[in-house]
Amino acid sequence: MGERSAQDQRIMWTDLVSEQRKRLLTVVGDDLRGIEVLRFAIQQAVAELAGLGGMVHLGSPGYGGGLRLAVASGLPPAFTRVWERIDGNGPLAPARAFRDGGFVRVSMAKLAGGMPEDGATASRRPDRAAAESWSWPVGTAMVAVPLPGPGGPIGTLSIVTVSPHGPSAGQRAFLDTLGRWAGERLNKSTAPPPGPTLPEQPTDSHQQQDLQAVGTWDWNIWTGDVIWNDAMLTVLGLGPGTFDGRIETWMGAIHPEDLPWVLSDMDEAIRTGRMHSTEYRVCHPDGTSGWVRVRGRPVFDENGEPAHMVGTLWNVTKTHDVLETVMEPQTRDAERASVARASHIRQLTRALAEAVAVRDVVDAAADHILPLFGASGLILAFLEGDHLRPVGFTGYPTEVIDQVARMPASWGLPITGVLREHSPIFISSLEECIESYPLTADLPVVGDKQAWAFLPLIASGRPVGSCVVSFTDPRQFTGEERNLLTTLSGLVAQAMERARLYDREHTRAQELQRGLLPRVLPNLPAVTAAARYLPAGKDMEVGGDWYDVIPLSADRVAIVIGDVMGHGVAEAATMGRLRTAVRTLADLELPPDELLTHLNDVVSDLGDDFYATCLYLVYDATTRSCVLTRAGHPPPAVVLPDGSVHFPDADPNSPLGAATPPFDTVRMELPEGSLLVLYTDGLVESATLDIDQGMAHLARTLSGTISGALSGHEDHATTPDATRLHCAECLESLCDSLVTTLLPARQGTADDAALLVVRTHALPKDDMATWPLPEHPKAAGEAREHVRTQLSTWHLDDLSMTTELLASELVGNVVRHAKGPIHLRLLRSNVLTCEVSDGSLTTPRIRRAADTDEGGRGLQLVSALSHRWGTRFTDSGKCIWTEQPLVCPSPALLPEQSGLDLYDLLDDE
């Protein structure tokens, strides 16, 4: 019983909001015309039904009949493009509403991919495949109502909704009212817009000159072909030979705001046989516009059917300009005020319909509600438990907002009282406020204002927050202002609720993505790195771009960047799984091509809908060599110390999930201080820029930045530590410069982007020592001697005993269980690395030795004495390595400031 009562209450509130929106239609100014009338109607209908978006179709005059799409809002272009022209006799909701003259609701599940099956041209359009791939939530439907005209419907208003239930009686009544209102506005527009009364023919005094400036035209209604004279080209601002003889080209020159009623008037003239006579604006190719006067009459064939329309057209722009200058100032002021009010309402509804985040709703309300009423303050707050949480404000200091956040709903103040009563409260003066609400006397929220409109924000029949519109001076609210404020608060509430849901889900997705990306890149002797991740536009979901820098043994570093195709939480989660898989496989010291082979298997196991690109490279600081493999990913930019930029030429292979191993690899040697720039396609590719152009732009940007640094270089002495910090700061600066240049304000791209800049360092030869050892038991003794001598030279005598034992144990295992040749290598960086290599491919494993076993404890001893140890395969066999941390790393390990350091100069630019 309680549940039914709550449902009835929601229906009652929905019907109340519908009535408020009906009142809003009565205060919309007459200056709202053409396309703006239709766009306003769509926005009101979408807000009423909490729909996804809408369309308006108008009856197409002339050949083929049917319905033509005039305007759409909130729906993807891939969907609306195939609805541009539909059969008036078909089963689609707009066609049925147009024929029957009443409300229609059709489930989107009955359509193939949500697209018209009966469209005259839809099945032949190249974008049909894109439309068929569009998927709709369960319960999605399209509702449509006609736009009445004097001789029958002139068009239809259609809304895509996600509610499994049809609109309530109140909502249907509002849609019918909205359709009639839009139809009446379009019918009013069939009369010439406000302007002069012109003679229908040129005057005799300049007859010859005027006749040369009058365009004549003959339109074949059945074929759409138009024949006109040269004067038509002159009036419409077209050059000779630019008109293709099609009616669509002529209609395309009509101002978008005037096009709907021009089409409606032409259609009615054809149906009724009357004269078509009107004025409208045309847009010239040079960006200017003008007024034209058009007269035409239909010509009928032997069967009495309209076959042609012939007529004249001439320029009346000057007459409109003259009347504008002689208009009474008072009349102009009143008209401007009416235009300004209608403009604010129009812009507000448009901004709320397009708002994605809560911040967008706040900005829209502040930009359009305050000027509309001359208000000075605005507060928007969400209801959370027993308190209001302000989410946006203007015209108030921060301490006032903090006071509002501490107000419990039980205080009975107007800002919370409107939520209990579900009705607005208007207070005209400070005295009235204090008299009605004594507790407000000491509140700063009241002290600096003199009049208020406290409005409840109601969405889906329940209160979600409050809106306060305040004024500096006392104000008597008229009935029209009260109705308009109440109605606008309903629009704000719907937008706020949608935006809050978006913010909540988007925040969760972003937190997931940030948690899956590296928080801090490691500080390694072999490389210095900096990175940037840039999500796509605010209305886009999170993506699957990722990057990582993974330390390996022997001062080797794995550098990886990848991109999971698509956007959404599933893609972000897939990105995290792949990054984890890469780190796991990298710990196994696999070569890049083998690692991508395993990663390809991981992506393939995720399903047929998952694909990813990846670039994986390993840099060895001891040899300055780099080995890279990529799967469908763009190549890295390699910047040499002289400032030259090139991209390694290699087969990119196919993306992961579609690739067929083996993967091709590229080997190259990098001079000391080279720069590797890794990126995803979102950095270099957009709707207006292909990837080759983007890579060329990246190369020019890198070359220009470094050249600028060279020209401003001044030698200066720095300490080793300062040099290292300076280089890290320089890479951060370079990242910012690249992002700013390549992605200015994220224009023209709907993809996220990742950027990873890595500077390579070579391990000094003095920090490396290598010795061959005999395949004989005495090799262990020689290894201990080499270790003792070298560590003494490096002043690491404290590590001598442990390292001798490790080397002796590793060499002894090779002599007993493997084969030569045997080599011992010591590396000094931030850790001391001891390596023993041999020609065997057998992998040593730790085994648990029993108390009575004489052997089997060697690797247990190695594991206990070393900080880290492992095995990797080489071209000639395998290498077993151990690492021991150094208390004070050698200054030689830090990047030296010798000669001309290109990247340290970036900070000097």
CB 561 within 8 A of CB 617: no
In angstroms, rounded to a whole number, what is the distance separating the alpha carbons of residues 643 and 754?
23
pLDDT at 831: 93
Q: How many CB atoms lie within 10 A of CB 808?
A: 19
Burial 280-317 (b: 16+ CB within 10 A, else e): bbbbeeeeeebbbbbebebeeeeeeebbbbebbbbbbe
In angstroms, rounded to a whole number, what is the distance separating the alpha carbons of residues 173 and 178?
9
In angstroms, rounded to a whole number, what is the distance separating the alpha carbons of residues 64 and 744?
46
In DSSP terms, which residues pair with 387 in a beta bridge?
A: 384, 408
In angstroms, rounded to a whole number, what is the distance separating the alpha carbons of residues 738 and 633?
19
In angstroms, rounded to a whole number, what is the distance separating the alpha carbons of residues 489 and 486?
5
Closest CA to 878 of 822, 808, 827, 805: 822
Task: Give 211-279 as a DSSP string.
Answer: HHH-EEEEEETTT-BEEE-HHHHHHHTPPTT---SBHHHHHHHB-TTTHHHHHHHHHHHHHH---EEEE
pLDDT at 61: 65
Q: What is the DSSP letter of 903?
A: T
Return the axis-axis angle of helices 358-373 and 329-354, rounded to nearest 10°.
170
CB 379 within 8 A of CB 396: yes
* Number of residues assigned to the chain: 909
pLDDT at 789: 95
Verdict on whether the full-model pTM lies above 0.75: no
pLDDT at 403: 77
pLDDT at 122: 38
Provide the token pair at 497: 């609720």
SS3 sequence, 809-864? Answer: HHHHHHHHHCCCCEEEEEEECCEEEEEEEECCCCCCCCCCCCCCCCCCCHHHHHHH
In angstroms, rounded to a whole number, what is the distance separating the alpha carbons of residues 174 and 116?
27
In angstroms, rounded to a whole number, what is the distance separating the alpha carbons of residues 795 and 772?
23
Residue 470 to residues 198, 347, 417, 480: CA-CA distances in angstroms? 48, 21, 16, 17
Q: What is the pLDDT of residues 670-696, one digit of tens each?
A: 998 899 999 998 888 877 778 888 899
Q: What is the pLDDT of residues 567-600, one digit of tens each?
A: 777 778 888 889 999 999 999 899 999 999 999 9
In angstroms, rounded to a whole number, what is the distance separating the alpha carbons of residues 392 and 370?
14
In angstroms, rounded to a whole number, what is the distance separating the alpha carbons of residues 340 and 347?
10
CA dihedral angle for residue 589, residue 594, residue 599, residue 601, rounded to 10 degrees: -130
CB 313 within 8 A of CB 294: yes
Give Cβ neighbours of residue 406 (< 8 Å, ≥ 6 apart). Answer: 387
Provide the token pair at 795: 């002043």
Residues of the chain where predicted confidence (pLDDT) is lower than 70: 1-34, 60-65, 109-138, 151, 187-213, 320-343, 409-411, 440-447, 536-542, 706-727, 744-750, 846-856, 887-909
